[in-house]
A and B are shown apart, each in its own frame.
Chain A
Amino acid sequence: MKTLVIAEHDNGALKPETSKTINAAVKMGFPIDVLIAGNNLSAMSSQVASIDGVANVLVADNSVYEHQLAESMSDLVLSISDNYSHIVASATTTGKNFVPRVAALLDVAQISEIIAVVDADTFKRPIYAGNAIATVKSLDSKKVITVRASSFDLQGEQSAVAITSIDTVSDSQLSSFVSVEQTESERPELTAASVVISGGRGMQNGENFALLNGIADKLGAAIGASRAAVDAGFVPNDMQVGQTGKIVAPNLYIAVGISGAIQHLAGMKDSKVIVAINKDPDAPIFQVADYGLVADLFEVLPQLESAL
């Protein structure tokens, strides 16, 4: 019995989700191999080999895997799946895309976005936008799992283990990459930041999001948004925190002009400390906030920036 973890990266850098997913895999109790699939991965394989708990690193370095298209990724994972009882990836958009395809090809159910490992077959996962936590036991001989990285810790380091390359390449030809449009940002990544400041509909327009910049700079924070702010076109959609956006659990989450709908809370209510700034004292966000400030955000944000 061995576990295969598929590494999360963008070809340039390893994502912290990889280490956190390995942390979850360690709790499943079996030796862990990590698969890195991508293009020009050289530095990354040794980085993975030094994550505590990893037994072997498998590297599939080929232009076919550069964009981690689901069809090729699932064929690759399938080709080595015989050796593993557990196949585990992060519940990022990459993992969510190819992992269910792997599960179907293996004819097993998939367990999505686990937040805790009870034992090797049993896991906890949120359902109904995080309003309930289900404990589910897999009855399949192989477990195919995605992990909510924000619920697990970073793994420590070890002296590097062996790295093996996988040379067989399968290109499904069912799909091809056309283009990518990356949102440029100097700030920490939303899902990895220890402080997140998010704006909602109350920000009124995209220009006003600049009011969050100074505060984010001083706190080293990432900037997020509610669905209302994204739908209104204030900010790009990859900034969205919530059931259908990103799930974050920073040390400090500051919600500015966000009412606190069920779908938004699903993405941030596991934050350690929540601060809400809203002029409506009845906004549901105050029911989960550790510190609430009932005030006009346009008066308060400049004050907050200068106070930090």
Chain B
Amino acid sequence: MKVLVPIKRVIDYNVKARVKSDNSDVDLNNVKMAMNPFCEIAIEEAIRLKEAGTATEVVAVTIGPKASQEQLRTALALGADKAIHIETDEKLESLHIAKLLAKIVEQETPELVILGKQSIDSDNNQTGQMLAALTNRGQGTFASKVVIENGKVNVTREVDGGLQTVALNLPAVVTTDLRLNEPRYASLPNIMKAKRKPLEVIAADSLGVDLTPRMQLISVEEPAKRTAGIIVEDVAQLVEKLKTEAKVI
């Protein structure tokens, strides 16, 4: 079966985001960018399905500016067979992304779509669920285990209080949690090979999706700063401070 993996280019997870001085947004100029960590896990899972003989083809897709092709090449180097770049310089919302992806699902007809559960920049945790809704597929979100058998996909989900397993009819949509797998690194020969793999570019506005913003970003601010604390000498002083100064125990 064919597996589609949507990925996103985001700020590197080790970089602390800085707010622009005019409070219009976060400053991404000259900041290190990378593939969203949850998307890496999604690619890894798709490649593992291919290695297990379950998946026949892995297609990576991203939506964003030209520079996002860098992350598609990474996906190809990790083992994806082909890549689709939906090019746009607009900052799109999850609903727009899900609608554009639904068009790609229509075109590519994958039996399984695997996405990350959230991107570490907007922290929305929406796209997979929205895509499942728009394509009328079952959804297995926050997956820590994915097993495909008898025309169904069994997804073990990380939920508050423990783990829940659901069975989804195929075709289906799965979103990855951090514990699904440990992503591999791309080897140099594979990075070289990835340069020759097919990468199709489609203009976002050619897909017939209304991309009018549904939300207005009014401002972006630094969170309230915590005031610097004190270093205590020993346990006795710590307990004393918590009792008399902070009054929390």
Contact = CB atoms under 8 A, between A and B. Distances in A.
B183 interface: no
B235 A304 contact: yes
Interface stretch (B64-72, B191-199, B217-225): B217-225
B216 A231 contact: no
Interface string B156-173: 011111111111110010
Contacts of B242: 252, 273, 275, 291
B187 interface: no
Contacts of A243: 120, 123
Nearest to B131: A104
Interface stretch (B48-56, B106-114, B134-142): B134-142
Nearest to A250: B248
A122 B124 CA distance: 16
Nearest to B139: A70
B154 A178 contact: yes
Contacts of A294: 231
A92 B234 CA distance: 38
Interface stretch (B1-9, B12-20, B73-81, B83-91): B12-20
Contacts of A308: 239, 249
Contact of A112 (B120, B124, B133, B239): B124
Contacts of A263: 13
Q: How large is the interface on A (under 10, 10 to 19, 20 to 34, 35 or more residues)?
A: 35 or more
Contacts of A129: 17, 120, 123
Interface of A: 10, 67, 69-71, 74, 92-94, 96-105, 107-113, 122, 126-140, 172-183, 191, 195, 219, 227, 230-231, 236-238, 243-244, 246, 251-252, 262-263, 269, 272-275, 281, 286-295, 300, 303-304, 307-308
Interface of B: 11, 13-14, 16-17, 19, 26, 93-95, 98, 117-118, 120-134, 136-142, 144, 154, 157-169, 172, 177-179, 213-223, 226, 228-232, 234-236, 238-239, 241-242, 246, 248-249
Given A101-B133, A128-B123, A139-B216, 7 more contacts: A100-B127, A136-B216, A237-B144, A243-B123, A252-B248, A281-B231, A304-B238
